[in-house]
């Protein structure tokens, strides 16, 4: 086995992804496990990491480990602090949280917090690493998800960010009354188009959500379009809110997999916004490399 | 037993409320049952009505019955049509839906539908009767609920209305992740005050909802204030949306029981809006009397 620089670990709520990174930055090997933070019992973290990386530890006994994501949350291995905005690779690398009981050099990337002048407060864990991994020095990033983040980069640092409960709200209302007329397969694209219209009139999101039901009763919306309607409607609310907060950028840097990538691209294109795509695992790894480099 | 004019029935999702109304409009007797529309099986409506009103039917064999609410929905006894806006007592009385298998004169008040110029579509069942029962000829009514309604009256007719999924959304997000840090008793009023602030910054509802979690992590919000925060936040979104849609009235006519009455009064007062209160069962009965009178 070739000499290795470090093990990069993306340890989220549902999954662990590890990469063995060589001194040249190339990935020599990867590993995945379902041992996300939600399924690891207290005290089970050393064994879970060992199970994923044992052969690498055997081959490189002193290799350091750098981890990002919910592994640093209150329910994770060790609660890592939040670095305040503005936060770049240097500030984040200066706040790395050492894991005392790992039996080797294991460090967790801190989350980042943002205190807005109006009193709003935002936190993230994992997305800060992705943001750095995009390499965007100045611009606006969108990272869709259960708790979607919009991150503003200035001079290569995270200057401000905001959270939108888009994925969570979609799941909640899909299972609730306004989503009850939905039928599988959830594939009628007319539902998304109708939502783009329904998002525009005054009245706000709680008014527009009722349209998922009323327009089926009224015959405007097919049951197979209800889920696409709800999804697009909540995404439209997020995008409108983000543009209100951060202003309208020339381009949106979109870190997303499918189906979010397509949904966001369509919604952003209709607003005349250009999109640059990034692959989530790739920017996570790039971010961990950037932070590792800033450390040394 | 004195001669009677009709039986007024408010038959909703969870309950049936019946009043024996005399020729002078006075209520001679009342009855209640848990046989709401959600608990009556298909074909079970005649027996459910009979169980609630049997002594009155025995005493007044030919007494007519007028019913309002979800009993006229697709899952009710008979699906009553929707009367279009603008709809007053005359238009609604002209659309009463006769129940064919009742064995007596039983009629259901139609719902009302509103087709907005922007394509939005709204429906209601039951609230049209309450609106007429308030006696408001010109003004703006707020009827909080699972699906809260704002109803504009012009010349004694329902001219326009809109639905907000306030109660439904509160239940959904309370059970979801952003509500997970809530602790009983849900009684910290500072949560509601914080929500009134958090509703103001740009970003919209899906951004503000995340504050229910982030501000607990940040120490601004006590776990006992999370539910009050969520409740007030979603109510603020409804009120802001309704004022956008209908304009700012001199007074809001509020048809609500507790705790909605207090929550809405506080939120409306902070916006400098006067409130006139109405009792829901009273206006429902008054509305049924008005419609009955318009019929003859």
> How far, rounded to the nearest angstrom, does the alpha carbon of residue A196 sit from its chain's CA centroid?
24
The verdict on B158 touching A (C-beta cutoff 8 Å) is no
Is residue B152 domain-resident? no
Residue B286 placed within a domain: no
Helix, strand, coil share of chain A (percent; to 5): 40, 25, 35
Going by their DSSP bridges, the two strands B139-143 and B148-154 should be labelled as: antiparallel
Judged against a pLDDT cut of 50, whether residue B243 lies above it is answered with yes
Q: What is the DSSP string of A109-178?
A: --EEEEE-TTS-EEEESSHHHHHHHHT-SSEEEEE-STTEEEEEEETTEEEEEEEE-HHHHHHHHHSSGG
Dump pLDDT digits (tens) for B46-59: 999 999 999 999 99
Answer whether B109's CB lies under 8 Å from B295's CB. Answer: no
Do A80 and A226 lie in one domain? The reply is no
Claim to verify: residue A81 and residue A152 sit in the same structural domain: no
Residues A202 and A106 both lie in one domain:
no
If asked whether residues A142 and A227 sit together in one domain, one would say: yes
**B120 at the A interface (CB within 8 A)?**
yes
Res A207 pLDDT > 90: yes
Q: In chain B, what percentage of residues exceed pLDDT 90?
A: 94
Instruction: Compute CA A79 distance to the chain's CA centroid, rounded to the nearest angstrom.
Output: 19
pLDDT at B3: 59
Tell me if A203 and B244 make a contact (CB, 8 A cut-off): yes
Which among B113, B211, B217 is the nearest to A120, CB-wise? B211
- What is the C-alpha R_g of chain B? 21
Does any domain span residue A1?
Answer: no
Residue B72 belongs to what H/E stretch?
A: none
Give yes or no for A166 touching B (CB within 8 A): yes
pLDDT at A3: 59
Q: Do B220 and A119 touch (CB under 8 A)?
A: yes
Question: For position B296, what pLDDT does the model report?
Answer: 64
Give contacts of B177 with chain A, Cβ < 8 Å.
146, 165, 168
pLDDT tens across A171-188, in order?
A: 999 999 888 899 999 999
User: Running DSSP on this structure, what letter comes out for residue A86?
Assistant: S
Let me know: does B220 contact A119? Beta carbons within 8 Å: yes
Domain boundary pick from A70, A105, A125: A125
Spell out the long-range contacts of B136-142 with Cβ–Cβ below 8 A and sequence spacing 24 or more: B136/B253, B139/B249, B139/B251, B139/B253, B140/B242, B140/B246, B140/B249, B140/B251, B140/B252, B140/B253, B141/B252, B141/B253, B141/B254, B141/B255, B142/B242, B142/B252, B142/B253, B142/B254, B142/B255, B142/B256, B142/B264, B142/B268
Share of chain A above pLDDT 90, in %: 94
- pLDDT value for B161: 98
User: Is B239 within 8 Å of chain A by CB?
Assistant: no
Contact B211, B174 (CB under 8 A): no
Residue A1 is predicted with a pLDDT of 42
Strand partners, A129: none
The token duo for B220 is: 């601004």
At A112-142, the pLDDT tens digits run 999 999 999 999 999 999 999 999 999 999 9
Q: Is a pLDDT exceeding 90 seen at residue A296? A: no
Tokens of B242: 């309704």
CATH number at residue B266: 3.30.420.310
* Residue A143 token pair: 């990272």
A235 and chain B in contact, CB less than 8 A: no
Residues A205 and A258 in one domain: yes
Q: Could you tell me if residue B187 is inside a domain?
A: yes
Which helix (H) or strand (E) is B100 found in, with range? none
Cβ-contact A167, A148 below 8 angstroms:
yes
- The reply to whether B231 and B174 lie within a common domain is yes
Confidence band, pLDDT 50/70/90 cuts, at residue A101: confident
Q: Could you tell me the CATH number of the domain that includes residue A73?
A: 3.30.420.300
In sign, the C-alpha dihedral spanning A87, A90, A95, A100 is: positive
Contact call for residues A254 and A261 (beta carbons, < 8 A): yes
Task: Say if residues A45 and A52 touch (Cβ distance below 8 Å).
Answer: no
Instruction: Supply the mean pLDDT for chain A.
Output: 95
What is the mean pLDDT of the segment spanning A191-203? 93
The answer to whether B198 contacts A242, with C-beta atoms less than 8 Å apart, is no
**Quick one: pLDDT at residue A225?**
97
Rounded to whole angstroms, how far apart are CA atoms A77 and A199? 41
Confidence of residue B1 (pLDDT cuts 50, 70, 90): very low
Q: How confident is the model at residue B178 (pLDDT cuts 50, 70, 90)?
A: confident
Q: Is A254 exposed, middle or buried (0-12, 13-18, 19+ CB in 10 A)?
A: buried
Q: Are residues B108 and B184 in the same domain?
A: no
For residue B12, give the 3-state DSSP assignment: coil
- Asked if residue B192 and residue B89 are part of one domain, the reply reads no
Indicate the SS3 state at residue A244.
helix
Residues B114 and B175 in one domain: no
Contact with chain B for residue A123, Cβ under 8 A:
yes
- The Cα A12–Cα A32 span in angstroms is 11
Q: Which of B217, B218, B238 is closest, CB to CB, to A206?
A: B238
The answer to whether the predicted template modeling score (pTM) of the entire model surpasses 0.90 is yes
Q: Assess if residue B156 is contained within a domain.
A: no
pLDDT band at A63; cut points 50, 70, 90: very high
User: Distance (Å, rounded) from C-alpha A290 to C-alpha A135?
Assistant: 9
Judgement on whether residues A198 and A64 belong to the same structural domain of the protein: no
Last residue of a domain, one of A100, A125, A150: A125
Regarding whether A210 and A263 lie in a shared domain, the answer is yes
**Band of the pLDDT at A295, cuts 50, 70, 90?**
confident
Where is the domain boundary, A61, A96, A125? A125
Q: Could you tell me where the DSSP H helices lie in A164-253? A: 166-174, 189-198, 205-217, 226-246
Number of domains in chain B: 2
Residues A267 and A142 in one domain: yes
A180 shares contact with chain B (CB less than 8 Å): no
In a domain, B157, yes or no: no
pLDDT band at B5 (very low <50, low <70, confident <90, very high): very high
Question: Å from B50 to nearest chain A CA?
Answer: 30
pLDDT confidence of residue B126: 97
Range of the domain at A259: 134-296
User: Is A205 in contact with B118 (Cβ distance < 8 A)?
Assistant: no
pLDDT above 90: residue B130: yes
Q: What is the mean pLDDT of residues A254-266?
A: 96
Residues of B in contact with A177 (CB under 8 A): 146, 165, 168
In a domain, B1, yes or no: no
pLDDT at B61 (0 to 100): 93
* Per-residue pLDDT tens over the stretch A145-179: 999 999 999 999 999 999 999 999 999 999 998 88
Residues 6+ apart with CB under 8 A from A143: A127, A130, A131, A149, A150, A151, A255, A256
Q: Using CA atoms of A48, A52, A54, A55 in order, give the dihedral in degrees to the nearest 10.
A: 180
Please classify residue B129 by burial: count the beta carbons closer than 10 Å to its beta carbon, then call 0-12 exposed, 13-18 middle and 19+ buried. Answer: buried
Quick one: angle between helices A260-270 and A226-246, nearest 10?
60
Q: What are phi and psi of B251, to 5 degrees?
A: -145, 145
């Amino acid at each position: 086995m070739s000499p290795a620089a470090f093990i990069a670990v993306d340890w989220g709520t549902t999954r662990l992804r590890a990469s063995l990174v060589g001194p040249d930055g190339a990935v020599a090997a990867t590993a995945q496990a379902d041992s996300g933070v939600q399924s690891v019992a207290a005290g089970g973290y050393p064994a879970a990491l060992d199970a994923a990386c044992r052969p690498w530890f055997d081959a490189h006994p002193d290799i350091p480990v750098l981890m990002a994501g919910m592994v640093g949350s209150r329910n994770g291995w060790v609660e890592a602090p939040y670095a305040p905005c503005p936060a770049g690779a240097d500030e984040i690398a200066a706040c790395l949280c050492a894991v005392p009981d790992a039996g080797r050099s294991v460090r967790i990337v801190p989350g980042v917090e943002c205190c807005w002048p109006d009193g709003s407060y935002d936190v993230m864990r994992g997305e800060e690493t992705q943001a750095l991994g995009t390499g965007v020095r100045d611009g606006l990033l969108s990272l869709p998800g259960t708790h979607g983040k919009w991150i503003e980069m200035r001079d290569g640092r995270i200057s401000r960010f905001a959270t939108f409960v888009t994925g969570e709200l979609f799941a909640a209302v899909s299972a609730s009354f306004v989503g009850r007329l939905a039928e599988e397969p959830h594939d009628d694209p007319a539902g998304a188009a109708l939502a783009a219209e329904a998002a525009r009139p005054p009245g706000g999101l709680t008014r527009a959500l009722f349209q998922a039901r009323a327009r089926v009763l009224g015959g405007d919306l097919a049951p197979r379009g209800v889920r696409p309607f709800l999804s697009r409607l909540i995404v439209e609310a997020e995008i409108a809110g983000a543009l209100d907060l951060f202003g309208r950028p020339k381009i949106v840097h979109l870190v997303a997999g499918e189906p979010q990538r397509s949904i966001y691209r369509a919604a952003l294109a209709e607003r005349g916004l250009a999109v640059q795509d990034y692959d989530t695992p790739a920017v996570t790894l790039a971010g961990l490399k950037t932070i590792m480099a800033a450390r040394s």
